[in-house]
């Protein structure tokens, strides 16, 4: 294995030599430097793994040197050494990216431990980076990372724009780093030693405009004069008061004309949202568009392959900032964050990672540190969209065939599996027509369609398996998908669907937040031609399906006290009726059963918050949402299991104490009935 290379920076020769001896004995390769400048040269030429640096060094001071070193190689680890009385500075150094500091005089043991820890941290960081195919580049601005075509095009455009003197129009959504791009164009150009003057157009009022931008402005106040030789950046041009926009057009036209005449030299850069200039005064946009160069900044959701690199970079950045040693990032983090829509783009992603790093325990960063529910909302800050959007959807009564539907966007939900108790998440994504409802393993991507032929076990919950992938407890999400008539959707998941609060409410909200999109294909509901009976209706448990024009369930539950006999009749109308009547009903269990389940290793995720626990004489843990909540939950389960048919079924179901076993049998019987040769229908009265 290659020796790790360490640079020792100290102005005292005996310290340099002592450290060199100790570290060389330990098998490191050691170089020494007496000051910041020579350290920086060594970092650039020798690519060390670690720098041991004294806080007090001649020339550029310790903190300044640290910043330069980290700038030259963001992956280098720096350990600061400080004497008494310099602890404050040393602590500050960790904020600027030093791995740690040690106080002189230090023990050999402590020194070696700290060095080993720092090298391990670097190794972990580099390994994580390799795992996402990201090669550390120079210290180029982290806003412009990425290897996607869009990212490369943007990087090239910035470099090309910097070389020229023409105005630059930066167009793109919020959060893409338009201000950084403007800065970078300035810093890369030969104007870098002249001023970069920024004008926030949102804050510019008429008086300020008159004083600072009009031809009448005094040279001491004129932004054009202040920016002489440099760059004048108009940020958020679309936010400039409409009355001022034509006046800015005049000012700029005069500026360009004068520049042609006497070579007065201020580079104009502007930023706005819509590349077609929507929201801008026509004359202003035309002037800029004709004289300048337009750089379109592509939204993050259209360059999702860049997301892991950003996540990496931000994790490193904030781990340093908050002093967390994060050695590993769970691959699910990359998968999941790559699926989100990021309406706030890189800025939003950065904020999300910062929050997660703050919440994260030391060691591994996992999805649980992310506030995914709020991230999944496609319009952050906006009121969550409620039922109105779907309440107007056509119902089954609209006709014999329905349009197939999928989701408008991908969304994520996080929770815990009821039976496995492990953390699990769920990502819903749109699928093309006729794809159906498909589950996929979140890590391997292996897929299993939500169809009866893949049902493996129904003892306590409905489980799908195709040999490569097993997915448990799918009935609640299936129930919501059925009721919102989502025909095609990909559900990436751990090995068990998250239980949430034990009901289907969160799944309903998720579907509503994603929005539904009608597709160019039809779905034909299943119509029964005969009554199907599963079980013994006289004694129960039993499930009976009779031909009908709409879906309904009449469920009778009979348990010992405190539940007793309960009944509920549900007729499907719109997703709204489902959401009000059925979706909130939670999973329930009897105390004795739970004990047995726990002993069998099941129901490990059953917390008091995600299900209704029934004791010998009363419900133990929660007020019921309906007096007959358990009965309604049974209907919820039945709706979910029936969706293994892959399309709506128009029938009147009568259920007596039935459960997953009868539900699945019913699905099999209906499937068999459909596969039988067509019966003679003439006598069936049009059914």
Q: Which residue is at the shortest CB distance from Zn ion?
A: 637
Least distance between Zn ion and beta carbon 407 (Å): 23
Place of tokens 């602890």: 87
- Dump the DSSP string for 16-49: HHHHHHHHHHTT-EEEEESSHHHHHHHHHHH--S
Which lies closer to Zn ion via its Cβ, residue 82 or residue 587?
587
Which lies closer to Zn ion via its Cβ, residue 122 or residue 607?
607
CA distance 386 to 549: 29
Contact 78, 87 (CB under 8 A): no
Alpha-carbon distances of 159 from 164, 178, 273, rounded to whole Å: 9, 14, 21
- Dump the DSSP string for 452-499: GGGEEE-SSS-EEE-SS-EEB--HHHHHHHHHTT--SEEEEESSB-B-
Residues 426-465 close enough to bind Zn ion by CB under 5 A? none
CA distance 632 to 686: 33
Least distance between Zn ion and beta carbon 170 (Å): 52
Crossing angle for the helix pair 108-131 and 307-321, to the nearest 10 degrees: 160
Secondary structure element (H or E) that encloses residue 328, with its range? strand 326-329
Least distance between Zn ion and beta carbon 414 (Å): 19
Least distance between Zn ion and beta carbon 667 (Å): 16
Least distance between Zn ion and beta carbon 611 (Å): 9
Least distance between Zn ion and beta carbon 568 (Å): 15
Residues 633-672 close enough to bind Zn ion by CB under 5 A? 637
Name which of 419, 427, 413 is nearest 473 in CA terms: 419
Rounded to a whole number of angstroms, the CA Rg of the chain reads 33
DSSP, collapsed to helix, strand or coil, labels residue 201 as: helix
φ, ψ of residue 98 in degrees (nearest 5): -65, 145
DSSP, collapsed to helix, strand or coil, labels residue 616 as: coil
Which lies closer to Zn ion via its Cβ, residue 495 or residue 637?
637
Least distance between Zn ion and beta carbon 366 (Å): 27
Determine the size of the site formed for Zn ion (CB under 5 A): 2
Which lies closer to Zn ion via its Cβ, residue 416 or residue 587?
587
Q: What's the first-to-final CA gap in the chain, in angstroms?
A: 77
Least distance between Zn ion and beta carbon 623 (Å): 19
CA distance 316 to 311: 9
Q: What binding mask, one character per residue, do residues 533-572 give for Zn ion by CB under 5 A, x or -? A: ----------------------------------------
Least distance between Zn ion and beta carbon 625 (Å): 14
Least distance between Zn ion and beta carbon 556 (Å): 17
What is the pairing mode between strands 516-523 and 402-407?
antiparallel
Secondary structure element (H or E) that encloses residue 411, with its range? strand 411-416
Which lies closer to Zn ion via its Cβ, residue 235 or residue 637?
637
Contact 37, 60 (CB under 8 A): yes
Least distance between Zn ion and beta carbon 633 (Å): 6
Q: What binding mask, one character per residue, do residues 502-521 give for Zn ion by CB under 5 A, x or -? A: --------------------
Length of the chain: 687
Phi-psi region of 588 (alpha: psi -120 to 50; beta: other; left: phi over 0): beta
Which lies closer to Zn ion via its Cβ, residue 228 or residue 501?
501
Least distance between Zn ion and beta carbon 114 (Å): 53
- 474 burial (CB, 10 Å; 0-12 / 13-18 / 19+) is buried
DSSP character at residue 518 = E
Which lies closer to Zn ion via its Cβ, residue 335 or residue 641?
641
Token pair for 401: 């065939």
* Helices of type H across 377-415: 388-391
DSSP, collapsed to helix, strand or coil, labels residue 619 as: strand
Residues 579-638 close enough to bind Zn ion by CB under 5 A? 587, 637
Instruction: List the strands of the sheet with 411-416, edge to edge.
Output: 411-416, 423-430, 489-493, 437-441, 447-449
φ, ψ of residue 566 in degrees (nearest 5): -130, 150
CA distance 457 to 464: 7
Which lies closer to Zn ion via its Cβ, residue 98 or residue 655?
655
CA distance 439 to 454: 11
Which amino acids are annotated catalytic?
660
Which lies closer to Zn ion via its Cβ, residue 217 or residue 612?
612
Least distance between Zn ion and beta carbon 478 (Å): 10
Which lies closer to Zn ion via its Cβ, residue 148 or residue 462?
462
* Cβ density class 228-264: b for 16+ within 10 Å, e for less: eebbbbbbbbbebeeebbebbbebbeebbeebeeeee
Which lies closer to Zn ion via its Cβ, residue 463 or residue 587?
587
C-alpha torsion 219→223→225→227, nearest 10 = 160
Which lies closer to Zn ion via its Cβ, residue 240 or residue 474?
474
Contact 510, 477 (CB under 8 A): no
Which lies closer to Zn ion via its Cβ, residue 295 or residue 500?
500
Peptide bond just before 105 cis, omega within 30 deg: yes
Name which of 315, 355, 357, 311 is nearest 335 in CA terms: 311
φ, ψ of residue 605 in degrees (nearest 5): -90, 0
Token pair for 160: 């090309």
Q: What binding mask, one character per residue, do residues 28-47 give for Zn ion by CB under 5 A, x or -? A: --------------------
Residues at the contact surface with Zn ion, assessed by CB under 5 A: 587, 637
């Amino acid at each position: 294995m290659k020796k790790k290379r360490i640079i020792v920076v100290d102005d005292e020769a005996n310290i340099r030599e002592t450290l060199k001896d100790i570290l060389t004995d330990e098998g490191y390769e050691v170089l020494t430097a007496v000051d910041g400048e020579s350290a920086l040269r060594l970092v650039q030429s020798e690519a060390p793994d670690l720098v041991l640096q004294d806080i007090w060094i001649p020339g550029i001071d310790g903190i300044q040197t640290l910043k330069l070193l980290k700038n030259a190689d963001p992956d280098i680890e720096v350990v600061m050494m400080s004497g008494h009385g310099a602890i404050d500075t040393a602590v500050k150094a960790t904020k600027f990216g030093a791995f740690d500091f040690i106080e002189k005089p230090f023990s050999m043991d402590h020194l070696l431990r700290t060095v080993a820890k720092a090298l391990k941290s670097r190794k972990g960081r580099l390994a994580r980076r390799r795992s996402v195919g990201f090669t550390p580049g120079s210290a180029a601005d982290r806003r412009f990372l990425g290897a996607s075509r869009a990212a490369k095009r943007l990087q090239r455009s910035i470099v090309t724009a910097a070389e020229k003197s023409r105005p630059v129009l930066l167009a793109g959504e919020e959060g893409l780093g338009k201000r950084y791009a403007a800065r970078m164009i300035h810093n890369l150009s030969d104007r870098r030693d002249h001023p970069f003057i920024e004008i926030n157009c949102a804050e510019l009022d008429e008086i300020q405009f008159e004083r600072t931008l009009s031809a009448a402005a005094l040279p001491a106040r004129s932004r054009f004069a202040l920016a002489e030789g440099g760059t004048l950046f108009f940020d958020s041009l679309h936010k400039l008061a409409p009355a001022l926009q034509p006046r800015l057009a005049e000012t700029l036209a005069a500026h360009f004309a004068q520049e042609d005449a006497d070579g007065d030299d201020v580079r104009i850069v502007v930023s706005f949202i819509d590349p077609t200039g929507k929201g801008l005064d026509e004359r202003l946009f035309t002037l800029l568009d004709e004289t300048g160069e337009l750089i379109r900044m592509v939204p993050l959701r259209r360059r999702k392959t860049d997301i892991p690199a950003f996540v990496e970079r931000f994790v490193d950045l904030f781990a340093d900032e908050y002093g967390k040693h994060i050695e590993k990032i769970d691959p699910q983090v990359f998968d999941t964050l790559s699926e989100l829509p990021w309406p706030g783009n890189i800025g939003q992603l950065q904020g999300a990672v910062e929050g997660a790093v703050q919440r994260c325990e030391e060691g591994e960063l996992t999805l649980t540190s992310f506030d995914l529910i709020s991230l999944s909302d496609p319009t952050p800050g906006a009121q969550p969209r409620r039922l109105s959007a779907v309440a107007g959807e056509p119902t089954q009564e609209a006709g014999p065939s329905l349009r197939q539907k999928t989701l408008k966007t991908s969304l994520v939900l996080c929770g815990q599996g009821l039976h496995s108790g492990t953390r699990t998440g769920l990502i819903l994504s749109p699928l093309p027509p006729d794809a159906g409802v498909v589950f996929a393993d979140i890590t391997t991507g292996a897929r299993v369609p939500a169809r009866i032929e893949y049902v493996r076990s129904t003892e306590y919950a409905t489980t799908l398996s195709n040999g490569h992938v097993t997915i448990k407890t799918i009935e609640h999400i299936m129930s919501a998908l059925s009721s919102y008539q989502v025909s095609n959707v990909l559900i990436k998941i751990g090995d068990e669907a998250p239980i949430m609060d034990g009901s289907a409410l969160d799944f309903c909200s998720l579907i509503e937040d994603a929005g539904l999109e009608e597709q160019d294909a039809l779905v034909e509901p299943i119509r029964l031609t005969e009554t199907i009976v599963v079980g013994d209706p006289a004694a129960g448990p039993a499930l009976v399906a009779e031909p009908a024009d709409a879906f309904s369930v009449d469920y009778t539950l009979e348990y010992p006290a405190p539940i007793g006999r309960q009944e509920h009749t549900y007729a499907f109308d719109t997703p709204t009726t489902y959401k009000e009547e059925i979706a909130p009903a939670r999973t329930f269990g009897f105390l004795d059963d739970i004990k047995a389940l726990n002993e069998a290793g099941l129901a490990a995720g059953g917390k008091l918050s995600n299900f209704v626990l029934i004791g010998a004489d009363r419900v133990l843990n929660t007020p019921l949402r309906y007096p007959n909540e358990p009965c309604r939950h049974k209907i919820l389960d039945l709706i979910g299991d029936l969706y293994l048919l892959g399309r709506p079924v128009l029938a009147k179901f009568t259920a007596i104490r039935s459960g997953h076993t009868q539900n699945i049998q019913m699905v099999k019987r209906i499937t068999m009935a459909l596969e039988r040769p067509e019966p003679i229908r003439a006598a069936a009265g049009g059914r």
